[in-house]
Structure 1
Amino acid sequence: MARQPEVVTTHRKEVGEFLSALLRAAGVTTAELAKATHRDRSSISHICAGRQFPGKAFWQSADAYLGAGGRLVLAYEKAVDVERAERKAELERELFEVRGHGKPAVDPVRIAHE
């Protein structure tokens, strides 16, 4: 599996940290959330640490269970948007190089974040 860009892993970790904070605030254990979301406790721990990043259905379920009012889903969607922008920039760089232009004069990753 290809290594994720640092900005992507940072956003995933931030979403996991937010989940962890919501768990603490609600007084919910990882085991309780695991049962409610049909996962195992270690998966929840990995998600909180940013090492796993499940799909939207998990975040919706966790958001509802924790009463987060859509904030957890919004955090997930922001991380997905960052990942899409990074992937788009990567594909644009590859296309530029395939066309024989060498290195781009402007960094498309920098432009994607402006």
Structure 2
Amino acid sequence: PYVIENSEITLADILTSLLRQYVGQSLDTATAYFNVGGFSLIKEGLQTLGSFRLLLGEAPEGAERIGLWPEKNIVSKRLVSDLDATPFSKETLRLVEDLIGYLA
């Protein structure tokens, strides 16, 4: 288990390293944030896994929120917001299609 803050080493660096170690095996990851751009950085490594589970959640804003239910639909709202902010191009469309195909 790792806690990555993206200050010195990025999540993409850690995941790329882990993916090399888990070829043909299962990898479970929990994160508060994942987007199409992040998928593009690790998609080749994901294809080498036996299985992959991704748990998306919301980082608590303060200690008083720990253990409470997250805002309803926060993950899907964040994904839609990220897609809306991403410039539309053939490359972006292909990445979205690849991500949907991978998760299906």
TM-score, normalisation: structure 2: 0.24
The structure richer in strand per residue is: 2
Q: Larger Rg: 1 or 2? A: 1
Give the structure with the larger helix fraction.
Answer: 1
